[in-house]
Structure 1
């Protein structure tokens, strides 16, 4: 059973585009449906981590907004961060899912129990993952993958019940 889901950012939580202006501002777009699924996972006791090669205030803010427990930015070796999480949470690699889209995600993907990617991931990732979303990065792929994991873990019905039984 998956207990921890690790996310890449650019191309996974976003469409991979960086919007830059002439004042050194950088913008990224996040899908609110992805965020909803992440929050539901956390409410039900799941752990979420972001491991990304870039560093940005935008990602730190998104982490805080969603209540994501772990964030590692500016990472050149994602497997090192994976091992830190395994030690910190006392879980096995089989209890971890990783969602990414590019070749810098391959090392960590082969180490975890379940790997997934958006449908617009690079071919080297598409050829090696356990699951390919029907959606592109930044456009609901993370939501789809979280729902799949939550359904397999018997958690999605609890999410539905919460909203169907609101008073």
Structure 2
């Protein structure tokens, strides 16, 4: 995956990363069990990317159109405290989050994959798409991962932001010297 100078310039300003869930943090599949419960597959390397974002001082949040108790569990595991569920029109949740954290649009990244993500992607400073996003979302993005949603796209985009901000090598060195994995989540 190649990134433009414009994407690097925008990534340098990011202080908050907002994720869509289905098709971004997961592969977009919804697995229904015999009792009607939903299951969602999450990718561990994406989770470690979220942990690395936190270790570097970046904030993270989720805005998703669906409701899922499995998502709440995963968000807790990854220490994502700002979770907005059941928001097909994601703009109100975005405004609330932006005001609560006192951030400007250019300080926010949003990772999306489908048409419901376009409204926020047009507002944020760093709109990004997973590799298998619909064409309209890929066109609205300043960065498109080489990986599909739920299979490393989140990790790749987070690493790009961290590298653009000059934080990647320090985090990598910290992992090489790590004696214990306390506080790490994948």
Q: Structure 2 length as normaliser, TM-score?
A: 0.87
* Structure 2 unpaired stretches of 5+: 1-12, 180-186
**Structure 1: which 4+ aligned runs deviate by more than 4 Å?**
none
Counterpart for residue 87 of structure 1: 99
Correspondence for 2:158 among 130, 137, 146: 146
Counterpart for residue 24 of structure 2: 12
Residue 2 of structure 1 deviates from its aligned partner by 0.4
Q: Which moved more, 1:56-65 or 1:123-132?
A: 123-132
**Cα deviation 1:125-156 (Å, max 9, x = unaligned):** 11221111000000000000000011111111
* Alpha-carbon distance between aligned partners in 1 of 2:19 and 2:144, rounded to the nearest angstrom: 14
Q: Are 1:109 and 2:121 counterparts? A: yes
The 8 Å contact of residues 109 and 125 in structure 2, kept in 1 or not, is answered as: yes
Counterpart for residue 96 of structure 1: 108
* Alpha-carbon distance between aligned partners in 2 of 1:8 and 1:42, rounded to the nearest angstrom: 17
Q: Are 1:163 and 2:179 counterparts? A: no
Q: Which moved more, 1:101-110 or 1:22-31?
A: 22-31
Counterpart for residue 76 of structure 2: 64
Residue 158 of structure 1 deviates from its aligned partner by 1.7
Residue 163 of structure 1 deviates from its aligned partner by 1.5
The 8 Å contact of residues 16 and 60 in structure 2, kept in 1 or not, is answered as: yes
Pairs aligned (count): 167
Q: 1:20 to 1:157 in 2, by over 3 A?
A: same
Correspondence for 1:44 among 56, 66, 70: 56
Residue 99 of structure 1 deviates from its aligned partner by 0.1
The 8 Å contact of residues 52 and 72 in structure 1, kept in 2 or not, is answered as: yes
Q: CA RMSD of the aligned region, Å?
A: 1.0
Residue 20 of structure 1 deviates from its aligned partner by 0.8
Q: Structure 1 length as normaliser, TM-score?
A: 0.97
* Alpha-carbon distance between aligned partners in 2 of 1:94 and 1:81, rounded to the nearest angstrom: 17
